[in-house]
Amino acid sequence: EIALATVVQVHLSTPRLPGARLGMTRSGHMAGSVSGGCVEADVFERAVQVLDTRKPTPVKYGIADELAFQVGLSCGGSIEVLIEPFVPDSAWEALRQAVERQQPAAFAIGLTPPTLRGRKLTVLERGEWADSIDPSLDRHVAVEGHRLLKAGGTKVVSLPWREGEANVFVEGFPPSPGLFIVGAT
């Protein structure tokens, strides 16, 4: 079993940007980072709970109160992290294939409301998408994802949904640039 933590929003100065990820197993193996070491131990404890409940959980970390014994960032900013069980579904598979083929893609994860949290959608270059956050939102999320295909970057998109609002984290995965060295001697 694997839990995946993703930085979905940052405020002010932070050690990692949105899209930073930390993968963890129940046995304590970790790969990646969401804060450069400031909050990883707490993220791991919460990830074990997420693996038990199978429910994606948002967590916000900011500067720790000097008088409290809590986990926090020392850089003055705050990060919002989504911790979820990793399930290699059709959205992840479409993203993996696009990245391996050096084709641009965008990956979206539902954040709020809780009924959408953890639902995924991968947007491909030809305007197609894999999986679904919600049928009434998918086309709007795909438009936002398509904007990030070539340039990359991240964005939290707020969209009207039912009687309220849905927030979706969207990340662009452009192809890696090539480097050609030409010359002699």
pLDDT band at 14 (very low <50, low <70, confident <90, very high): confident
168 near 159, Cβ under 8 Å? yes
pLDDT band at 136 (very low <50, low <70, confident <90, very high): very high
DSSP per-residue string spanning 64-81: PPTTS----BSSS-EEEE
Supply the DSSP string of 14-46, one letter for each residue.
-SS-TT-EEEEETTS-EEE-SSTTSSHHHHHHH
pLDDT at 122: 97
More confident residue, 38 or 43: 43
Q: Closest by alpha carbon to 111, among 65, 165, 73?
A: 165
Chain mean pLDDT for the chain: 89
* pLDDT at residue number 72: 52
- pLDDT value of residue 74: 56
In whole angstroms, what is the distance from residue 147 CA to residue 134 CA?
20
Q: Is it the case that residue 63 has pLDDT exceeding 80?
A: no
Strands 129-131 and 153-161: unpaired
Quick check: helix, strand or coil at residue 89?
coil
